[in-house]
A = this chain, B = another copy of it.
Amino acid sequence: MNTYKHEVKYYECDRMGVTHHSNYVRFMEEARVDYLDQLGFGFEKIEAEGVFSPVVSVQCNYKSPTTFKDVIDIQVAIGKVSEMKFEFLYEMRVGNKTVCTAESLHCFIENGRPVAISKRLPELFKAIQSQQ
Q: A29-B9, A29-B10 are in contact. Are A16 and B54 (CB under 8 A)?
A: yes
CB distance from A42 to the nearest CB of B (A): 8
**Chain A contact residues (Cβ within 8 angstroms of B): what range?**
35 or more
Assembled-state Cα–Cα distance A60/B39 (Å): 27
Give the copy number.
Answer: 4
B17 touching A11 by the CB < 8 A rule? no
Interface string of A17-40 (1 = CB under 8 A from B): 110111101100110010000000
| A binding-site residues for B, Cβ under 8 Å | 9-11, 13-18, 20-23, 25-26, 29-30, 33, 42-44, 47, 52, 54-62, 65, 68-69
Going nearest first, the 4 A-B pairs with the smallest beta carbon separation are A22-B25, A21-B55, A59-B59, A13-B15
